[in-house]
Amino acid sequence: MKIWRLEYDLDIVQGFVLKDQGLRETIMARNNFRGHSIQNWEYVEVKRSGRKAICDIYAFSVQHPIVSVKSSEFFKLYFPEEIQLLDVFNGKEKFYILNVINLIDCLDMDKSKIEYFSSGRIMEVVSYSFKPDLIKESYLFKVPQYPSKIFATDRMKKLVESTDLIGYKFVEVWNSERDTNRVDML
Q: How many CA atoms lie within 13 A of 35 on its CB side?
A: 16
| CB-CB neighbours of 176 under 10 Å | 14
- Model pLDDT, residue 48: 85
**CA atoms within 13 Å, Cβ hemisphere of 77:** 10
Name the β-bridge partners of 5: 151, 171
Please name which of 63, 71, 65, 84 lies closest in space to residue 143, comparing C-alpha atoms: 63
pTM: 0.89
∠ at Cα 43 (37, 44), nearest 5°?
115
Q: Which residues contact 66 (CB under 8 A, 6 or more apart)?
A: 16, 46, 57, 58, 59, 60, 88, 95, 96, 97, 98
Report the residue count for the chain: 186
pLDDT by 10s per residue, the chain, length 186 = 999 999 998 888 888 888 887 776 666 655 577 888 988 888 888 888 877 778 999 988 756 899 999 999 999 999 999 999 999 999 889 999 999 999 999 999 999 999 999 999 999 999 999 999 999 999 999 999 988 899 999 999 999 999 999 999 999 999 998 765 544 444
